[in-house]
Structure 1
Amino acid sequence: MFVTAQQLEQQMPDATRLLSDEPEMETSLHYMQLLLLVTSLEWLWRDSNDFFIGANLTIYFSRQQLRNRDFRGPDFFLVKDTEKRSRSSWVVWEEDGRYPDLIIELLSESTADIDRNLKKNLYENRFHTPEYFWFSPENFEFAGFELVGNKYQEITPNARGWRWSDVLRLYLGVEAGKLRYFTPDGDLVPTPEEAAIAAQQQASVAQQQASEAQLQLEQERLRSQQLAERLRSLGVNPDSLG
């Protein structure tokens, strides 16, 4: 019997029962890199409520996948123009058929070949994800692809080795052994902790500048007072001087 896509989706389990089924990150390097990608983008878009970031979260997209459980979700993915709320997994048929707009995989010795080939083909041909990047926290291998027509083409890096993301409107690039976001002007997108430290440093500099200005005013007042006293000792009324 022929089964339509709508009927197929109706036979799927409820999204509330489809929990993420992902293993732990392989190393602390991978975990810290994933945390960096999530927190810095969340901080940059802190005033927006129309996006979802998935971190080591399962994407459910077909009945066969549910039966086989043979697909591991992306390490990092972004869906724009959607409700920003907590999800236990990303269930395509419960999200108006939406697939990620951007995916980043963190390469490891055990997953690199799958990420470069099987997953790349899946994201290109099934997901039609506009942008796909991969990065190795261990040897810093970094590549990026954009969907042109129905095929991925490599994103050409700039002189710094950064690759532009139209989805993010940001550069992705390796800095101090970490994959980071950079603004179109080349500024690093900070984590909340980095932003707090920078704000504290700016406040300290402003306070120091204010203290120096106050000290300079005080020194000028003392010099004026000393000059007035000197004039009086010479019999000159400083108040009479224009």
Structure 2
Amino acid sequence: MAISAEALQTTSFTGVEFAKQMPNARLILSDEPQMESPEHYEQLALLTTSLSWIWRDRQGFFIGANLSIYYDRNELLRRKFCGPDFFLVKDVEQAKRNSWVIWEEGGRYPDLIIEILSNSTAKTDRIDKKALYQNIFRTPEYFWFHPYTLEFVGFSLTSNHVYQTIPEHKGMKWSNVLQMYLGIHANKLRFYAPDGSLIPTPAESAQIEHERAEREYQRAEVLAAKLQALGIDPTTI
């Protein structure tokens, strides 16, 4: 049975004692608030569905979307956790999770985090969370994007464990973790191939395939009409 974060406060155990009593701390549910606007939902859905589609033939990664990360079992009862809007962990078991519990995942922290800024969270995302991801999580790459102002900033962790700004290349920022670019297209944060071309979403890919099939059908119809005009039955060819 999954356990809510509120239920943790009713026990007399310490955080460590409580964690030891649990057969699997992954049963702790995520405790993240709802996102603030339809634009935030759309952006988050776009990132998660797009990366899942791009990596559909890969195994061993986990994408978290508005999911709590529990990173300090000593402070478990005090609900010390953080919930990035979007995070990626590579080279892990590809399974569903109620939350990401660091000590249940072999100490694995996210390899990449993206925060979708809002007026109420921007200061926290720019200062407090940046410090957390740099100093505690040691997350190799951290990006933030504001869906209204289109502010887009990225950081990579240096060998000295300090974030440095990722430079722009033709309006995009390279991600070593993804081996892709991130950039803005039609006011949305999107994934770009190493050659700089926009990577289609699943819906866009389906539309491209539909249009290709339609062109092939029309060419076949034109060819069949020409053959019939010559007195040739196209079905015999």
TM-score, with normalisation over the residues of structure 1?
0.83
- Going from structure 1 to structure 2, the CA distance change for 1:97 and 1:197 (only over 3 Å counts) comes to same
- Going from structure 1 to structure 2, the CA distance change for 1:70 and 1:61 (only over 3 Å counts) comes to closer
Note the C-alpha offset of 1:30.
Answer: 0.2
Note the C-alpha offset of 1:71.
Answer: 4.0
Distance across 1 between alignment mates of 2:203 and 2:167: 31
Distance across 1 between alignment mates of 2:37 and 2:84: 16
Match of 2:84 in 1: 74
Matches within 5 A, 1:1-16: 11=20, 13=22, 14-16=24-26
Counterpart residue identity of residue 39, structure 1: T
Deviates more, 1:106-115 or 1:13-22: 13-22
**Mapped pair 1:60 → 2:65:** no
Counterpart residue identity of residue 181, structure 2: Y
- Equivalent pairs: percent with the same residue? 53
Structure 1 segments, 4+ long, off by >6 Å, are none
**Mapped pair 1:169 → 2:179:** yes
Match of 1:94 in 2: 104
**Mapped pair 1:148 → 2:158:** yes
SS of residue in 2 equivalent to 1:21: coil
Q: Is the CA contact 1:59–1:89 (under 8 Å) kept in the aligned structure 2? A: yes
Q: Is the CA contact 2:19–2:25 (under 8 Å) kept in the aligned structure 1? A: no
**Structure 2 residues without counterparts, runs of 5 or longer:** 1-15, 233-237
Distance across 2 between alignment mates of 1:152 and 1:9: 35
**Structure 1 residues without counterparts, runs of 5 or longer:** 1-6, 224-242
Show CA shifts across 1:100-141 (max 9, x none).
000000000111001001100110111010000000011110
- Going from structure 1 to structure 2, the CA distance change for 1:34 and 1:21 (only over 3 Å counts) comes to same
1:186 alignment partner, one of 196, 201, 221: 196
**How many residue pairs align between the two structures?**
215
Distance across 2 between alignment mates of 1:113 and 1:12: 37
Q: Is the CA contact 1:8–1:63 (under 8 Å) kept in the aligned structure 2? A: no
Q: Is the CA contact 1:9–1:93 (under 8 Å) kept in the aligned structure 2? A: no
Show CA shifts across 1:59-80 (max 9, x none).
0010354233254310000000
Deviates more, 1:178-187 or 1:66-75: 66-75
- Please tell me whether Structure 1 or Structure 2 has the larger radius of gyration of its CA atoms: 1
1:46 alignment partner, one of 21, 37, 56: 56
- Going from structure 1 to structure 2, the CA distance change for 1:148 and 1:109 (only over 3 Å counts) comes to same
- Going from structure 1 to structure 2, the CA distance change for 1:71 and 1:110 (only over 3 Å counts) comes to farther
Distance across 2 between alignment mates of 1:128 and 1:216: 66
Distance across 2 between alignment mates of 1:65 and 1:102: 24
Match of 2:135 in 1: 125
Distance across 2 between alignment mates of 1:71 and 1:9: 16
Distance across 2 between alignment mates of 1:166 and 1:34: 21
Distance across 2 between alignment mates of 1:90 and 1:139: 30
SS of residue in 1 equivalent to 2:82: coil
1:157 alignment partner, one of 150, 153, 168: 168
SS of residue in 2 equivalent to 1:117: helix
Q: Is the CA contact 1:61–1:93 (under 8 Å) kept in the aligned structure 2? A: yes
Counterpart residue identity of residue 163, structure 2: Y
Q: What do you get for the CA RMSD once the two structures are aligned?
A: 1.9
Show CA shifts across 1:201-220 (max 9, x none).
1110111122222233334x
SS of residue in 2 equivalent to 1:134: strand
